[in-house]
Copies of this chain bind each other. A is one copy, B any other.
Amino acid sequence: LETGTLRRVARMLNALPPAEIARLLESLPPPQRAVVWELVDESYDGDVLAELNDEVRATLLEDMEAEEVVAALEGLDPDDLADILQDLPDTVIRQVLASMDQENRRRLEAVLSYPEDTAGGLMNTDTVTVRADVTLDVVLRYLRMRGEIPELTDSLFVVDRNGRYLGVLPLTALLTRDPILTVAEVMEREPEGIPATTPATEVAQLFQHRDLVSAAVVDERGRLLGRITVDDVVDVIREEADQALLSMAGLDEEDDMFAPVPVSYRRRALWLGVNLATAFLASWVVGLFQDTIDQVVALAVLMPIVASMGGIAGSQTLTLAIRGIALGQVSSANAAWLLTKELLVGLLNGMTWAVVVGLIAWFWFDNTQIAAVIAAAIIINLICAAFAGLTIPLALRRMGIDPALAGSMALTTVTDVVGFFAFLGLASLYLA
């Protein structure tokens, strides 16, 4: 590339919002990624880093000098800064902290003292507060003097003299109500402060249910600590959804599709190893019936069908259950009703496909006994699949394990083992 072209590319690149530059970097293989990263204007580095996923960010930070990192992070919001600092070596963290003024350091430390996935870790400290006893006119003059209101501010927070959160004063009220009224007369006391230790998932549900743009975060004594804005909540929702999808394949939300081969190899090997153990379990069940297969080789041909139908039927129940649990719709209160329903659906589908498979097996091998055995095995397996599809995620959640992560493999183990055992076991009784 000529320097002229490169300069033009850099100008186009830096005209994009940081989030789009971040998505672009994430979609590039490492060598090109490094080139494009060099083109990003230094004043945008921090904002782009804040938008990148953890893994890509870590690789870019690795290649930067400590001074570059400190310069890039200057002026970032405390919540973004707190996120990034966790990936940095201690020496760099100390330099970043040393470069901040006392006020900003105090704010950052407030955010850092809470885990990343809680309300405290999500919050920013750029709140605009007012007292309840002043008039709207005073507030209006204060804002005009202040000259600036942080982004995504739809409400000011009302606090008492001890910093306790009392409610919100929406900007729209400020603009429409009579200026001689006091804040106390106009404010909304309804949205309670979110305790800083609230899990991010619950914060996301709250924002969704109440259509919030921003909300106050309070400490255990009700004092205002900061605020959460809807843009960070949108990220939480997106990440949770990604997590559910990826963990069903044993992957992680922060996985970089463009990670170097050795990194991806090691990550995925682990999951394959777990799967191998469960596959050998199924294989061992087949091994128990070697003599039967030796006598009727058609069993070896048909046995994958029984396992496959059970796996699909079970995964349908499992997926609905995982989503229902995540949305709070499935609990022990309605588990019995759901189980009855899923077992009935399993029975009906079992009978339907037992007839179809039985008929095909009969024509294929011209053997009514094989047809009867595979039909019975399919009904048994689809009922077991319904049972396992609902009870496995509920049991995993009770054990504190993410149902999306372990559910799929546990289910397949059950449907393979039950499928092979039912099919070959019945065959050994009636065919051999």
Interface of A toward B, CB cutoff 8 Å: 17, 19-20, 23, 26-29, 140, 143-144, 146-149, 151-154, 171-172, 174-176, 178, 207-211, 213, 230-231, 233-235, 237-238, 240-242, 244-246, 248-251, 255, 257-258, 261, 264-265, 268-269, 271-273, 275-276, 278-280, 282-283, 286-287, 290, 293-294, 297-305, 307-309, 312-313, 315-316, 318-324, 327-331, 334, 337-338, 341, 344-345, 348-349, 352-353, 356-357, 360, 364, 412, 416, 420
Indicate the member of A237, A301, A357 with the most B CB atoms within 10 Å. A301
A309 touches B349 (CB 8 A): no
B329 touches A27 (CB 8 A): yes
Interface SS of chain A: helix
A41–B160 CA distance with the chains assembled, in angstroms: 36
CB distance from A144 to the nearest CB of B (A): 6
A351–B170 CA distance with the chains assembled, in angstroms: 62
Q: Which residues on B sit within 8 Å (CB–CB) of A257?
A: 320-321, 323-324, 329-330, 338
A249 touches B211 (CB 8 A): no
In the assembled complex, 7 residue pairs joining A and B whose CB atoms fall closer than 8 Å, in A order, are A242-B323, A246-B323, A249-B315, A257-B323, A271-B316, A275-B312, A282-B308
Q: Which residues on B sit within 8 Å (CB–CB) of A269?
A: 348-349, 352-353
User: Can you name 7 extra interface pairs (CB under 8 A) apart from A29-B334, A147-B176?
Assistant: A17-B210, A27-B328, A27-B331, A241-B244, A245-B323, A276-B357, A279-B304
Total copies of this chain within the assembly: 2
Q: Which residue of B lies closest to A24 (CB)?
A: B329
B323 touches A305 (CB 8 A): no
B309 touches A261 (CB 8 A): no
Q: Which residues on B sit within 8 Å (CB–CB) of A334?
A: 27-29, 258
A301–B287 CA distance with the chains assembled, in angstroms: 5
A27–B320 CA distance with the chains assembled, in angstroms: 12
A416–B307 CA distance with the chains assembled, in angstroms: 12
Q: Which residues on B sit within 8 Å (CB–CB) of A27?
A: 324, 327-331, 334
Q: Which residues on B sit within 8 Å (CB–CB) of A234?
A: 207-208, 230, 233-234, 237
A412–B334 CA distance with the chains assembled, in angstroms: 34
A318–B17 CA distance with the chains assembled, in angstroms: 30
A345 touches B19 (CB 8 A): no
Q: Which residue of B lies closest to A282 (CB)?
A: B304
CB distance from A375 to the nearest CB of B (A): 13
Of B29, B238, B258, which is within 8 A of A237 by CB?
Answer: B238
A287–B360 CA distance with the chains assembled, in angstroms: 14
B261 touches A283 (CB 8 A): no
A13–B395 CA distance with the chains assembled, in angstroms: 30
Q: Which residues on B sit within 8 Å (CB–CB) of A146?
A: 176
A328–B24 CA distance with the chains assembled, in angstroms: 9
Given A234-B208, A308-B275, A349-B268; A341-B261 close (CB under 8 Å): yes
B305 touches A345 (CB 8 A): no
Q: Which residues on B sit within 8 Å (CB–CB) of A303?
A: 300, 304
B151 touches A176 (CB 8 A): no
Q: Which residues on B sit within 8 Å (CB–CB) of A308?
A: 275, 278-279, 282, 412, 416
CB distance from A367 to the nearest CB of B (A): 13
Q: Which 7 A-B pairs have the closest CB atoms?
A: A241-B241, A27-B329, A300-B300, A249-B319, A149-B172, A211-B231, A19-B209
Q: Which residues on B sit within 8 Å (CB–CB) of A213?
A: 152, 154, 213, 230
Given A27-B328, A265-B349; A245-B255 close (CB under 8 Å): no
Q: Which residue of B lies closest to A318 (CB)?
A: B249
A416–B309 CA distance with the chains assembled, in angstroms: 14
Q: Which residues on B sit within 8 Å (CB–CB) of A29?
A: 334, 337-338, 341
Given A245-B319, A275-B308, A293-B300; A327-B149 close (CB under 8 Å): no
CB distance from A415 to the nearest CB of B (A): 12
Q: Which residue of B lies closest to A233 (CB)?
A: B234
A283 touches B302 (CB 8 A): yes
CB distance from A408 to the nearest CB of B (A): 9
Q: Which residues on B sit within 8 Å (CB–CB) of A360?
A: 280
